[in-house]
Structure 1
């Protein structure tokens, strides 16, 4: 049988190979994997918000001031700002799967210990361990999204991670308020034990390795210690004799300062600084909200949990809307450049106008954010009707 490629060349026909897919995982598999890592990322924010309504109860139970209990929040946030740099780089080196298992195991142990402790010093130290273990999971989750999804479709998958993180302001304080009101503050951490334990089991059984330096687009077999217990699940590679003999891979020690080098680029520094300011405002409002409104409007712990509903509802709406808006903006930019609309193909980010595609949709949400924060501070300062603060929050 004659070679088709030779025939094409003889006839002057240039064969065009179809562009390679970014990942061999199916769309359903991608959503399942991102759902699992989103579940793990949920605990990063939940650990803070579920804690806020219990601050007065913890202060009374441990015999310390509210300011000392607030110190456990400050400490948690300080560690949470550093942990992603260490955990994220470790996940890049060792792979996503082992880091998830290690961090969730440590988080489970920390919650178990906090539920049993009756000492302020132990609470402070265990909150440090809790933050160190769980705060980096959301950064790994976004790494998994980049492993699986081409740039043109990342908005929707990243929105699911964002949904898991932003739903915590809605569910967390309600859970914290109900558990503290009905059974006592330790049950907050018993709940976190059960939830994180179930997440750990799911990850161990069903989360495949996705790091691209380990498995490429998903078609390269990972080392045996990174494989699932059930080898037929989410497996898109065929092991050969050569693959089974591969036991050595390049290794370097995790470097928590590596991510700081990103700030040396002016464009990255501007984006990170702006997002950092927004997160500072976000955290300050949430940390003080329950205490201030309990004092001003004389709410109980159950009602203090309900005041966080606007954060969660707004976050849920944003998660569903922002992903589609980002994907549409990226698609429109591709069309203007004559690149088509196939979202499964990777774009050359060295030549693609990433900033224009992403930042063109940010101005309206930013304006609304500034206006709502100013209005919220004004109504709270003047002790206006409680409904105004609830809506603006």
Structure 2
């Protein structure tokens, strides 16, 4: 009887322990009230004790490791815009060599942009579920092979098909770059890191046409693709050796050791040396370092989770994402329009040659660098300010719960001034060419456009990652899709508009579109929290329904 009572007491103690742990996780105090203390909603806390956040840090990577990871991802994202721009100076030469019209050779540019928008939809979802390194491996192999094929292309149809493959291999690196930032950086520090990733998008249009023009004139157009293949191969080797897997589905905060297929060459070499030392000195196998390695080696199998190919479309069709992506893509189209129109206008009005025209993109690069270093820090400051207003403890290294946090307002309060500056500079840029202003005026406006467009774009990119937790690759792919499609339409329309109403009025109409659609941002700031809650409830309902169906099927 006493033995039975003892077992019963042990079971009760275990149940009580588990219950107390669950209550502590839910923030419920399990201690009984002291004698004489008030109980109920009118009870006052005994003292104002500061709340200590005991959660682990969001990422196990150090500050400099995160910088290196983001820099490596940004270098990979450089190839998509570079490949699109470096090819443009050779269009006339290619039309002559393959004996086709300029319209036919321009089709290789159009198909490139189409695949640039479509391909990330598939690979972005794949990277969210299966890992960043496998996605990078697939992209680089396709891209390098397509460049070699383009360099050896014997005919126009072969070049057309290979350009599609080239776009498929390079375009997804932009989405992967944003996903890597989401893996290692919290919302509190994300503004600074995402700012770095915007540099390749603006730097490529500056250096691409210059490099392409020099190569096509000096050594032939085929060396454009040989150069891209060589540089991509070098970056691929660097990624394979040093860029670690960051997908949180696989490595968590970065402390979990994945299957060897996910590890870098550097990690495999270190592990081989560690095993070799352990064989030579067996007594060292019990040191703290070895125990740490053993404790983090919890996930050793290949992570082949089923991924949703249409996840990017699902994100795009959500209420908040549709409004945000559609409007931001219209605003970003000003960059495409300026970049497309500038070569012909500078040649016709100012008499610049190809190399000088390429150098005129440098002021935009300067503005983008300013946006990367200034706007990112301002976004982080505004995030801290809203934490203070909401009475939420600010933790840079820990990811905070954004369910009730006005993250849309915290981000777009920085984006709206950049939007106003974008509209004003776009309007002024058109009229500067209309009245043939001094070239210094054009340079200043290009600098401000680079700052404003990249600053606004960065706020949108950060907000996308904040709202779509766990699906950063798919969300960035949705953004890439809308930007490429609307950008392609804008570049196709801006030329006839200039011929019809003049460059001043054409860019005035473009700036007016920004102003007319601006209430969209204020609508998102007002209803963002409510829309995110509705999205969360729908997701939980789907998961519950799926679980019920599985339980019914098992019965």
**So what's the TM-score if we normalise by structure 2?**
0.64
Q: Distance in 1 between matches of 2:98 and 2:330?
A: 33
Shift of 1:180: 2.6
For residues 120-199 of structure 1, the aligned pairs below 5 Å read: 120-199=156-235
Larger Rg: 2
1:193-232 Cα shifts (integer Å, max 9, x gaps): 1211111000111111110011111122212211122326
Shift of 1:374: 2.1
Shift of 1:382: 5.3
Does 2:407 correspond to 1:354?
yes
For residues 37-48 of structure 1, the aligned pairs below 5 Å read: 37-48=73-84
Match of 1:365 among 399, 407, 418: 418
Look up the match of 1:6.
none
Contact 2:58 2:186 in 1 (8 A): yes
For residues 324-363 of structure 1, the aligned pairs below 5 Å read: 324-363=377-416
Shift of 1:329: 1.2
Look up the match of 1:251.
305
Shift of 1:76: 1.0
Change (3 A) 1:241 1:269: closer
Q: Structure 1 residues 337-346 or 359-368, which shifts more?
A: 337-346
Q: Distance in 1 between matches of 2:268 and 2:81?
A: 34
Shift of 1:142: 0.8
For residues 37-76 of structure 1, the aligned pairs below 5 Å read: 37-76=73-112
Aligned-partner SS, 2:293: coil
Q: Distance in 1 between matches of 2:228 and 2:165?
A: 14
Q: Distance in 2 between matches of 1:241 and 1:19?
A: 18
Q: Structure 1 residues 277-286 or 102-111, which shifts more?
A: 277-286
Match of 2:294 among 219, 228, 239: 239
Shift of 1:386: 5.0
Aligned-partner SS, 2:189: helix
Look up the match of 1:3.
none
Change (3 A) 1:298 1:69: farther
Q: Distance in 1 between matches of 2:433 and 2:103?
A: 21
1:170-201 Cα shifts (integer Å, max 9, x gaps): 22222222223332322222221121111100
Shift of 1:304: 3.0
Q: Distance in 2 between matches of 1:120 and 1:250?
A: 39
Does 2:236 correspond to 1:200?
yes
1:317-367 Cα shifts (integer Å, max 9, x gaps): 222222111111111111222224431111101121100110001122111
Contact 1:206 1:233 in 2 (8 A): no
Change (3 A) 1:253 1:16: closer
Q: Distance in 2 between matches of 1:346 and 1:92?
A: 19
Q: Distance in 2 between matches of 1:149 and 1:77?
A: 30
Contact 1:52 1:176 in 2 (8 A): yes
Contact 2:251 2:258 in 1 (8 A): yes
Contact 1:376 1:389 in 2 (8 A): yes
Look up the match of 2:512.
none
Change (3 A) 1:233 1:271: farther
Contact 2:130 2:303 in 1 (8 A): no
Change (3 A) 1:212 1:331: same
Contact 1:112 1:189 in 2 (8 A): yes
Contact 2:61 2:184 in 1 (8 A): yes
Aligned-partner SS, 1:210: coil
1:295-330 Cα shifts (integer Å, max 9, x gaps): 554433322322322332222222222211111111
Look up the match of 1:30.
66
Q: Structure 1 residues 367-376 or 227-236, which shifts more?
A: 227-236
Q: Distance in 1 between matches of 2:260 and 2:357?
A: 49
1:71-123 Cα shifts (integer Å, max 9, x gaps): 22221111111112111101112200111111012111111221222532222
1:99-150 Cα shifts (integer Å, max 9, x gaps): 1111012111111221222532222211111111110111111111111011
Shift of 1:281: 3.0
Aligned-partner SS, 1:221: coil
Look up the match of 2:263.
227
Contact 1:205 1:229 in 2 (8 A): yes
Shift of 1:21: 0.5
Q: Distance in 2 between matches of 1:216 and 1:44?
A: 29
Aligned-partner SS, 2:298: helix
Contact 1:180 1:301 in 2 (8 A): no
Shift of 1:43: 0.8
Change (3 A) 1:359 1:150: same
Change (3 A) 1:171 1:242: closer
Contact 2:124 2:172 in 1 (8 A): yes
Q: Distance in 1 between matches of 2:175 and 2:70?
A: 13
**So what's the TM-score if we normalise by structure 1?**
0.88
Q: Distance in 2 between matches of 1:321 and 1:63?
A: 49
Look up the match of 1:91.
127
Higher helix content, 1 or 2? 2
Question: What is the aligned length?
Answer: 383
Does 2:303 correspond to 1:267?
no
